[in-house]
Amino acid sequence: MVRLDKFLCDCNMGTRSQIKDYIRQGLVSVNGIIVKKPELKIHESNDNVTLRGESCTFKKYAYYMLYKPAGVVSATTDNTADTVISLLADVKDKNLFPVGRLDKDTTGLLLITNDGDLSHHMLSPKKHVDKTYLVGIRNPLTLEDKTRLEQGVDIGDEKLTLPAVVSFPNQVTEECAQILLTIHEGRFHQVKRMLQAVDNEVVTLKRVSFGPLTLDVSLAPGQYRELNEQEVEACMKC
């Protein structure tokens, strides 16, 4: 059992002081009965709690898919630039953080959550979770360089990169050639360094998938949505 005011606070219905005011004003009901005691003990799972008629449900963890735009940093706080968390300003869930990071100029799919276990699972080097990028490159990729990327290249680390998957999308752009590149690890500036290793250069970089998640085509840069139960389960199993 838990105190009523703590339960409502955990449901992100307001600060502890705000919630105590709501309760004393008679805005909170438990099982259809108005209560005015913040210290009242309730069963989180069994009791039906409402605030202003709105049912309050406690969710321990939250999961969001964000279409990261260029110009924001993958951090919770930053002194010089907007962060990906600031894009979720209307979200009440607490202690959110990005799972991994995308460079400031990189766009695309970013998972935001407050579930540390899921984050560790998705980022574990032992899992080799796939990440696919739409990469705009300075020069068209030759078949020889495609083979090199798929076999693993030297980017200045102790080991070659793991074998990647390279394909050529049907999209056409006047600005640069494009490839789809799937990697299975997350080294520092890895995609940019891989293209440098085959004497090419990344012009634009957009992550289109991360593990079982694919960037929702209905999202515009800066927009986000909650993951559904099936997506969360798929992330936990990948």
**pTM metric for this prediction:** 0.82
Spans of the chain below 50 pLDDT: none
Residue 111's nearest CA partner among 121, 101, 99, 102 is 99
**What does the block give as tokens for 88?**
């979720």
Predicted local distance difference test score (pLDDT) of residue 93: 74
For domain 63-230, give the CATH superfamily: Pseudouridine synthase (3.30.2350.10)
Q: Where are the beta strands (DSSP E) in 28-183?
A: 28-30, 33-34, 41-42, 49-51, 54-55, 63-68, 97-98, 107-113, 131-137, 165-167, 177-183
Predicted local distance difference test score (pLDDT) of residue 94: 76
Predicted local distance difference test score (pLDDT) of residue 15: 87
pLDDT one-digit tens code per residue, 17-58: 999 999 999 999 999 999 999 999 988 878 899 999 888 877
Tell whether the torsion through CA atoms of 223, 50, 61 and 229 is positive or negative: negative
Class level of CATH domain 2-55? alpha beta
Where in the chain are the domains? 2-55, 63-230
Kindly give, in sequence order, each residue whose CB lies less than 8 Å from that of residue 211, ignoring residues fewer than 6 positions away: 122, 129, 130, 131, 234, 235, 238
Annotation marks residue 10 as catalytic:
no
Which residue in the list 10, 47, 93, 103 is annotated as catalytic? 103
**What does the block give as tokens for 213?**
């998640």
Q: Where are the beta strands (DSSP E) in 20-148?
A: 28-30, 33-34, 41-42, 49-51, 54-55, 63-68, 97-98, 107-113, 131-137
Predicted local distance difference test score (pLDDT) of residue 191: 98
Predicted local distance difference test score (pLDDT) of residue 45: 77
The single-letter code of the amino acid at 18 is Q
